[in-house]
Amino acid sequence: MIQTRGLTKRYGATTAVDGLGFDVRPGAVTGFLGPNGSGKSTTMRMIMGLDRPDRGTATINGKRYRELWWPLRKVGALLEARTYHPGRSAESHLTALAAANDIPRSRVGEVLAAVGLANVARKRAGGFSLGMAQRFGIAAALLGDPGVLLFDEPVNGLDPEGVRWIRDLMKSLAAEGRTVLLSSHLISEMALTADHLIVIGQGRLLADSTVAELTAGGRSLEEAFFALTGGSAEYRGVAPAQPRGQ
């Protein structure tokens, strides 16, 4: 389980995350939604121990990330594409990660095959397209067969077939009893993928509910999302100019 309690992060005078608290439970895909600048990526970075909160806690199975023993075997994450040395092959990068976390080397080939990159295992990762880089990042997240997984915009750069593959993968991981937190700006895709939703705006919790509850009454998830976040977007639209004389 992932838990945040009173999670707060400031950058100078800007509050990116403001007293945020929620649970992400196993056995379901939990979607993480919010407008640009709402604090989603900052929250995920704090969960993974990459940013230190100013106040509050973010824990994985009751422990901060830095307290986990063999972390890659407990939690896997794709927060940014291309977080690898471009001169190394996919196979050598994952082999080094496996060795550092006492993971059998055989697991490298398994995850590369699972994400469709077995045929480029020995090619330099710096030559990967964005879609291939996303798949490679997912392979790294799955390497330790962790029970907790975080994905920040994993469908970026993927074609429709790849998007559908991500959807099926997320559902299958949750069906195995894993905890899956998935951030995406594609609301229509989240409606097809997520079972539960955490919606934030300006770093604050706006909704913690099932997709069915948010779309009750026949409204779409997009309508529910904009109803929740209409006043919390970082960038507000500019009204079109009126013709002269009006």
In this structure, what CATH number is given to the domain that contains residue 16? 3.40.50.300
Residues 7 and 46 occupy one common structural domain = yes
pLDDT at 80: 82
The type of residue at 147 is G
CA 79 – CA 141 distance, rounded (Å): 10
Whether residue 70 is found in the same domain as residue 95: no
The verdict on 70 and 103 lying in the same domain is no
Which residues partner with 122 through β-bridges? none
In this prediction, residue 214 carries a pLDDT of 92
Same domain, yes or no, for 141 and 159?
no
Confidence at residue 231, expressed as pLDDT on a 0 to 100 scale: 56
Q: Which domain holds residue 102?
A: 85-145
Task: Give the C-alpha separation, 84 to 185, whole Å.
Answer: 24
DSSP bridge partners of 207: 199
Question: Do residues 189 and 199 both lie within one domain?
Answer: yes
pTM of the model: 0.89
Give the pLDDT of residue 73: 94
| CB of 108 closer than 8 Å to CB of 91 | yes
Q: Do 151 and 135 share a domain, yes or no?
A: no
Q: In the chain, which residues have pLDDT < 70?
A: 231-246
Roughly what angle, to the nearest 10 degrees, separates helices 106-114 and 90-100? 130
Instruction: Indicate whether 218 belongs to any domain.
Output: yes
Which ranges of 32-149 does DSSP label H, i.e. alpha helix?
40-47, 90-100, 106-114, 130-142
How many domains does the chain fold into?
2
Same domain assignment for residues 141 and 192:
no
- Listed in sequence order, the residues at least 6 apart from 239 whose beta carbon sits closer than 8 Å to its beta carbon are none
Instruction: Give me the phi and psi of 23, to 5 degrees please.
Output: -120, 140
89 shares its domain with 117: yes
> Is the residue at 49 inside a domain?
yes
Which string of b and e fits 93-116 if b means at least 16 CB within 10 Å? bbbebbeebebeeebbeebbeebe
Residues 134 and 156 in one domain: no
Q: What is the pLDDT of residue 166?
A: 92
154 and 56 part of one domain: yes
Crossing angle of the two packed helices 90-100 and 130-142, in degrees rounded to 10: 20
